[in-house]
């Protein structure tokens, strides 16, 4: 089992800070063996949104808000 805990930049942080955070998080997630359970404990400051098209494996359509930019970054991990 892999447990990753993190706190993401907010929507008001600059793009470079957000890019660096999500790049580093992606590298960490990629190091986790796919056969292992990976739990991501986080405050990602995201809104994943209602439209789960293309993301059906990671989210359902139960959310009543629009996806924000950080939600898009998270969904693309």
- Residue-wise pLDDT for 30-76, tens only, equals 999 999 999 887 776 655 555 556 666 655 555 556 667 777 777 77
For Cα atoms 70, 16, 43, give the angle at the middle one, nearest 5 degrees.
35
What is the DSSP-derived secondary structure letter of residue 34? T
- CA gap 47, 64 in Å, rounded: 10
38 CB burial (10 A radius; 0-12, 13-18, 19+): middle
> Token pair for residue 63?
């959310």
Give Cα 7 to chain centroid, integer Å.
11
pTM over 0.75: no
């Amino acid at each position: 089992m892999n447990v990753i805990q993190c706190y993401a930049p907010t929507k008001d942080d600059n793009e470079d800070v957000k890019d660096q955070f999500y790049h580093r998080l992606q590298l960490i997630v990629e190091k986790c063996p796919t056969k292992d359970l990976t739990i991501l404990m986080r405050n990602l400051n995201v809104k994943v949104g209602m439209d789960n098209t293309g993301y059906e494996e990671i989210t359902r359509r139960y959310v009543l808000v629009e996806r924000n930019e950080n939600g898009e970054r998270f969904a693309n991990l």
